[in-house]
Amino acid sequence: MREMLTGGELDVLTGDYLAELTMLILGRDRLKDPDLGYAKTFLRQLEECLGLAAERGVRIVANAGGANPAALAARIRELTERLDLDVSVAHVEGDDLTSRATELGLGTPLVANAYLGCWGIAECLNAGADVVVTGRVTDASVIVGPAAAHFGWDRTDHDALAGAVAAGHVIECGTQATGGNYAFFTEIADLTRPGFPIAELRRDGSSVITKHPGTGGAVTVDTVTAQLMYEVQDARYAGPDVTTRLDTIEVGQDGTDRVRISGTRGEAPPPELKVSLNGLGGFRNEMAFVLTGLDVEAKAELAQRQLEAGLDRRPAELTWTLSRLDRPDADTEERASAILRCVVRDPDQDVVGRAFSGVAVEMALASYPGCSLTGVPGKASPYGVFTAGYVDQAQVPHVAVLPGGERVDVPPASQTRSLEAPPEPALPQPLPEGPSRRAPLGAFVAARSGDKGGNANVGVWVRTEQQWRWLAHALTVDRLRTLLPETAELPITRTVLPNLRALNFVVEGILGEGAASQARFDPQAKGLGEWLRSRHIDVPEALL
C-alpha cells in the first residue's frame, strides 16, 4: 500500500482481500467473536498509510470487510480519531445471507455471501467517502465502482461497465498482471519484486494498464492476456452489473509498460446473483512416506497394506498417491527417493487425528527397508467445502451506509438477460501440411490456470497468426484429455477467443469440493497450465 501511494500518481487505491477460501476463514472468525470477520491485515496497512493517502487525496476502496464490513468501518473510524485525521468512512453491506440461507434454498452453510456489484460503492463515493469497505462484492467491483462514480455512468451503460470490468479483472490479482505467474517469465528483465498494476480508466470504458515508473516486472500484451484468461468460464463473463463479452476484448501495446484494452462489449447482467457458500466438510490429515532405492512399487504396497491394517476405524475417505520422483542409479539419496502420500478425511476428528498418524509412525521399525516419514504425527485439521448458489437479485439487500450513517438501498439491475451459450466463432484456416517434430506445447504456447469452486480453467494463447492457425485446430477437448490424463473422465468445455488468439478450457470437478477441501495435489489448479505446457506434442517445424 505504501509503495502504491508513494510511487506515483493515483486517484483511487483498491484492494481485493477475498478469495473463496478467505470467506470461510473470516466467517469462522466472526462465529468466535462477533466483532471480527474482516481482514485484519488491511487495518494494519491503513494504520501506516491512511495519513499518507489523505495527504495525497487518494481515496481507498477495498472488500476487506469480508464477513463484517460494519465492524471494519467502525475500526477505521477509531483509527482516524487516534491519528487525528479528517477522513470520512463508508461501507457496503447486504451480501451476508447466512441467516436466510435455508429459506432461500441454499442449504445450511457456515457462511453464505452474495456477490454484490459496484453501485453501493459508487453511492458511498458520491456521498464524499474517502474510504469505502465492502463485504463480498465481485473482485472487479472495487475498480468499477470508482469509475462509475467518477464518470457518472448509468446502470445501462453496459459497454463502459464491461470495459471497467475487464480492467478490474486484470488488476484485481495485483502482480499477476506485471509478470507474476507468467508463462514466459524468463523474458522479463527483473522479477525480483514486480510492481503493482494500475488501470487508467476512460469514460468509454477503455483503459490502459500500466505500473509506477521504476518498479520491477513488466506490463505487456502477454502479461495482461494472462490475467484476462485467469479463472474465467466462457465468452460471457457474468457479473451483478453487466455481462462482459470476453470475445470482444482487444489488447495492444501502447508504449513501454503500457497496454491498451479496448472494444469491450457488455450485455445486461443475469437476473440472479451468484452466492458463495462455504461450510465445514469435516477433518483431514495426511502422512507422507519416503521410499528410497529399489523395489519402490513393492515398498509402497507394503506400507499401504500395513497402515490400513493398523487402523481401528477406516476413515470415510482414504487416498494414496505415489509420486515417482526417483531416478535409477541416482547420484544423491534425494534423487533416489519417491514419495507415498496418504490423505484421509472423516466427519469425526478423532478418526483422522493421532489415531491415524500414530499408526504411520508405529510402522517405522516394522515396514519396508529405509522407512521414513517427511513429518511428525499431527492432529487433524478442519477442511472447508465451497459451492456456488444463485438467488434472484431482488432477494438480496444491497445497502450503502454513507459517512454520516444514512442507509441507502441500492436497487437491483433494471435490465437483465438470462445467460446463454455464446455463439461459436469461426476458426482460422488451418496451416498447410508440413514436417513436424515432438516438442513441449509450451515452446510457444502460454497458459494460465486457476480455480472456480470445484472446477478449474486452463487458458492458453499464442502470439502470432500462424501459431493461432495451428493451436485452434490442434488443441481440441480430446487432445487436452490425452495430454492431461487426470481430466480424461471429467466434463470439459472449450471456448474460442480469436481476438486474444486464445482457447479457454473449463474442467469440471477436478478440484472436488473446492480449494478448501484440498482434494488434489494442486488444490487451486495454479500449476495445471504449466503441466499442460510441459507435455509433448507434434508441432509443425515452421512454428519452432
* Burial annotation 402-430 (CB, 10 A radius, 16+ → b, else e): bbeeeebebebbeeebeeeeeeeeeebee
pLDDT of residue 383: 87
Domains of the chain, by residue range, sit at 2-276+389-409, 280-384, 436-543
Query: All 3 cell numbers of residue 150?
Result: 467518477
* pLDDT at residue 290 in the model: 97
Using 50, 70 and 90 to split pLDDT, how confident is the model at 200? very high
Are 63 and 140 contacting, i.e. CB atoms less than 8 angstroms apart? no
* Predicted local confidence at residue 326, as pLDDT: 95
How far is the CA of 435 from the CAs of 31, 342, 469, 472, 536, in angstroms? 64, 46, 16, 19, 16
Give the pLDDT of residue 259.
Answer: 98
pLDDT at 137 over 80: yes
pLDDT at 382: 87
pTM of this structure: 0.94
Q: What is the pLDDT of residue 21?
A: 78
- What is the model's pLDDT at position 513? 80
Percent of the chain at pLDDT above 70?
A: 99
pLDDT digits 0-9 by tens, 155-196: 999 999 999 999 999 999 999 999 999 999 999 999 999 999
pLDDT band at 42 (very low <50, low <70, confident <90, very high): very high
pLDDT, tens digit, 9 for 90 and up, residues 244-259: 999 999 999 999 999 9
Reply yes or no on whether the pLDDT at 279 is more than 80: yes
Sign of CA dihedral 424, 426, 431, 433: positive
Res 19: pLDDT = 85
Q: CATH number of the domain at 280-384, please?
A: 3.30.70.380
In the predicted structure, residue 515 carries a pLDDT above the cut 80: no
> Which residue in this structure is represented by grid cell 443475469?
270
- Output the pLDDT for position 421: 83
Average pLDDT, the chain: 96
Task: List pLDDT tens digits, range 368-398.
Answer: 999 999 988 889 998 888 899 999 999 999 9
CB of 377 within 8 A of CB of 361?
yes
What is the pLDDT, as a whole number, of residue 105? Answer: 97
Contacts 24+ apart (CB under 8 A), 144-147: 144/117, 144/118, 144/168, 144/241, 145/61, 145/118, 145/119, 145/120, 145/121, 146/11, 146/12, 146/14, 146/59, 146/61, 146/121, 146/122, 147/201, 147/205
The b-or-e profile of 152-188 (16+ CB within 10 A means b, else e) is ebebebbbbbbbbbbbbbbbbbbbbbbbbbbbeeeeb
pLDDT band with cut points at 50, 70 and 90 for residue 138: very high
| Residues 480-514: b if buried by 16+ CB within 10 A, e if exposed | bbebbeebeeeebeebbbeebbbbbbbbeebbbbb
Q: Which of 139-143, 374-378, 407-411 has the lowest mean pLDDT?
A: 374-378
User: Which pLDDT band, with edges at 50, 70 and 90, does 86 fall under?
Assistant: very high
Q: Is the pLDDT of residue 422 over 90?
A: no
Say which residues have a Cβ less than 8 Å from residue 241's Cβ, sequence separation at least 6.
117, 118, 119, 141, 144, 155, 161, 165, 269, 413
25 CB contacts (<8 Å, ≥6 apart)? Answer: none
Predicted confidence at residue 413, as pLDDT, reads 95
Cβ atoms of 496 and 472 within 8 Å: the answer is yes
106-120, pLDDT tens digit by residue?
A: 999 999 999 999 999
